[in-house]
Amino acid sequence: MAGEIEDAIERVDREAFTKEPPKTLKGQISFLIKQFGSAKAVATEIDEAVRQRWQPLVRKRRQKKAATSTGITVETPARFGYTAPLPSCTRTAAGLADEVQG
């Protein structure tokens, strides 16, 4: 019984003190501009919301593509060294050409 009374009070409260949100796009945008103070702030908010929803979709699509066909390429700088005998480090291209011909 107590639950029914609380539900009834909540329903009456909701009906008496609330209003349906704007249904048209123009009305919704007007509401958001009033809430955020400017159209630029609304655009920033929309941009952030789109990014939050967009990125997971892009990641999922690219991961699926990598898993099924293209694979993943990881690029990293690398340095491969070769230690040559001391005189060879000082040889010039002309000196090397002489050695090859001679």
CA angle 5, 11, 8 (to 5 degrees): 15
Per-residue confidence (pLDDT) for residue 36, from 0 to 100: 93
- In tens, the pLDDT along 9-38 reads 888 888 888 888 899 999 999 999 999 999
Per-residue confidence (pLDDT) for residue 68, from 0 to 100: 85
- Please tell me the pTM assigned to this model: 0.46
Per-residue confidence (pLDDT) for residue 23, from 0 to 100: 93
- In tens, the pLDDT along 48-94 reads 999 999 999 998 988 888 888 877 777 888 877 777 666 655 556 55
